[in-house]
Structure 1
Amino acid sequence: MKLIDIKNYNNNLNVIQNNCFENLTFNYNDNLTNVLTFCSTITFLEKAIVKNNISAVITSEKVYEKLRKKNKFNEIIIDKGIVLSKNPREDFFKFHNYLAENTEFYKKENISFKGKNTKISKLASVSKNNVHIGNNVIIEDFVKIYDNVYIGDNSIIRSGCKIGGEGFQFPVINNKIYFIKHVGGVKIGNNVELQNNCTVDRSIFRGYTEIGDHTKIDNFVHVAHSSKIGNNCRIAAGAIILGSVYLGNKIWIGPGVIISDSLIIEDEVSISLGSVVVKNCKKGEELAGNFAINKNEFILKNIQALY
């Protein structure tokens, strides 16, 4: 789509440099290409214009003029589409909803598939719109599977799970709570098990919330939109993984853990029960506490508190 087409949504927007885009996102770590995003500060605009996957930005005239004064970026700006808005964040979200509700920009080809030896309870509800279920899959009673869900071979979805529903994205715009349409999907790998009453939300934009091969997830776990969980992870009961989190492989997440949004948790990390994680975690780290710190530091801190 050409950036100039944004004027079909709002003719008052000033497109000072046209370009093409294929995706929208506000998460710079997404692997989407040819992205339109928004930047409300000079800091984020400077980051955006050097990202190869970002082809266009919505920003304010004030922020854009600050950038123009920094001559070292002048050549990079030429490669990006630029839209000037009085409220970049508001126009970005409203334009996304406009595309979702009034155009075929996000339309997916409807390819539904059910593999061999798959057992789906008569009490389960499975959408007929672009749902792919692999071989030897078990889907138990009262499971709800929405549009755009892919489930790999030999996976088990236990009773009460909800896969691919709308996520929680309600920004406040002009003192009103505004609903953001979710248009992505969910990909569940091979040999995955989701135990009773788990929820996995679909991604906000194009792309998928993902759960990797051989990962096992206990009861009442919530995986928010656009998060990606690696292979061979174990996630115990009641854990909450917020939006756009990246989890590596072979990770242990204890009962009741909360992981804040947009974090990167590298391979083989272990997080003890009840921990609240608010920063990125390096490979092999062991974390505990609220807010979570190195497990040995946490133990020492609590011992010292006794004396």
Structure 2
Amino acid sequence: IILMILQKIFYKLKSADVADSWLMHTSVMQYTMKTGLKFFNYLAPKTRLCQRVKAGSLGTGNVIHPTAIIDYDRVIIGDSCVIEKKVVVEKNTIIGNHVTIGEGAVIGSEGFELRRLAGEIIPVAHLGGVIIHDNVRIGPRACVDKSSFSEYTEIGDSSDIMTAVQVGHGIKIGRDVTVMDETMIGGYAKIGDRVKIGRRCSISDGISLSDGMVIPDYTIVTRELKGP
């Protein structure tokens, strides 16, 4: 219950009508917010708020390179997965069956979210996790950030996330999605089923792409796109 209340407060403070209001720009509110955020960043990771995955487990038939760094106590891995060399899998990650993760990929990294308060730039601690469903392929050097609070960044069945793709915090990617090399998807975006995103695209935070959309190479998407 406490977590849900904190999450609602956080999202409300992030909304444009509140964040841009005169009250939020007063000195008193700026210092109050800065102190509160620093306290949250210090306290939250030390509590059960961060324990999305209570106990890790490892399925059968997996091929895991010895140089991979995995928090086995807080990571769930299914069956017949391939995890290549120098992969990092952080806590609160759930990996399904027949998943391939390419060399140097990072799964469950801290989400990139900063707040400028009272003249100081402060990162926001993320407490969520990552879910990678069955038959997903993640390319070399891709990065999948964990979500904030109780949510998960999620990649749906049979999706391909290719080389050096950045999947931001809290993103929901549907089934049979293809994301080509060096594309960046901003936080909290929602990608429908069977979407194809080309090379070196940029998808802004919070954008929704409906089922079956095709985004050409080098496209910058700044608004919601819906199919016919």
TM-score, normalised relative to structure 2: 0.87
- Pair 1:36-2:18 in alignment: no
Is residue 282 from structure 1 mapped to residue 213 from structure 2 by the alignment?
no
Residue identity in the other structure for 2:115? P
Q: CA deviation at 1:203?
A: 0.8
1:86 to partner: Cα distance: 3.0
Unaligned 5+ runs, structure 2:
none
- The residue aligned with 2:124 is 180
- Hey, what's the Cα distance between the residues in 2 that align with 1:244 and 1:41? 13
Q: Secondary structure at the match of 2:44?
A: helix
Residue by residue, what CA displacement relative to the aligned partner does 1:81-103 show, whole Å, maximum 9, x if unpaired? xxxx8347546644642541454
Find the aligned partners of 1:237 and 1:93 in 2 and give their Cα distance: 35
Match of 1:52 in 2: none
Identity over the aligned pairs, expressed in percent?
A: 29
SS in 2 for 1:171: strand
Give the one of 246, 250, 254 matched to 2:194: 250
Contact 2:57 2:72 in 1 (8 A): no
1:112 is aligned to 56
2:78 to 108, 119, 134: 134
Residue 97 (1) aligns with residue 41 (2): yes
**8 A contact 2:49–2:127 mirrored in 1:** no
User: Does structure 2 conserve the Cα–Cα contact (< 8 Å) formed by 1:23 and 1:206?
Assistant: no
Query: Match of 2:189, as an amino acid?
Result: V
1:270 matches 2:204: no
Question: 2:15 and 2:210 mapped to 1: Cα distance?
Answer: 30
Tell me the residue number matched to 1:295: none
For structure 1, the 5+ residue unaligned runs are 3-20, 26-34, 46-59, 64-84, 285-307
Report the Cα distance in structure 2 between the residues aligned to 1:42 and 1:196, rounded to whole angstroms.
Answer: 35
Question: Residues 57 and 73 of structure 2 are in contact (CA less than 8 Å); yes or no, is this contact kept in structure 1?
Answer: no
Change (3 A) 1:191 1:39: closer
Match of 1:209 among 125, 146, 153: 153
Counterpart of 1:148? 92
Cα shift readout 1:174-231 (whole Å, capped 9, x = no counterpart) = 1111121111111001000001110001112221111000001111111011111111
Q: Secondary structure at the match of 1:244?
A: coil
CA offset digits 1:216-272 (Å, max 9, x no partner) = 111111101111111100111111001110101000000011000011111100000
AA aligned to 1:86 is M
Structure 1 residues 101, 154: closer, same or farther in 2, change over 3 A?
Answer: closer
Amino acid at match of 1:190: D
Say what the alpha-carbon RMSD is for the aligned residues: 2.7
Q: Structure 2: how far apart are the matches of 1:42 and 1:218?
A: 32
Instruction: Give the Å deviation of 1:111.
Output: 1.5
Q: Which residue of 2 aligns with 1:22?
A: 4
Compare relative contact order (CA 8 Å, sep 6+) and give the higher one, 1 or 2. Answer: 2
- Normalising by structure 1, we get a TM-score of 0.66
Which whole-Å CA distance do the structure 2 matches of 1:256 and 1:218 have between them? 11
CA deviations on 1:122-166 (whole Å, 9 max, x unpaired) are: 111111232010111010111111111111101100111000011
Amino acid at match of 1:248: G
Looking at structure 2, the residues matched to 207 and 176 of structure 1 have their Cα atoms a distance apart, in angstroms, of: 27
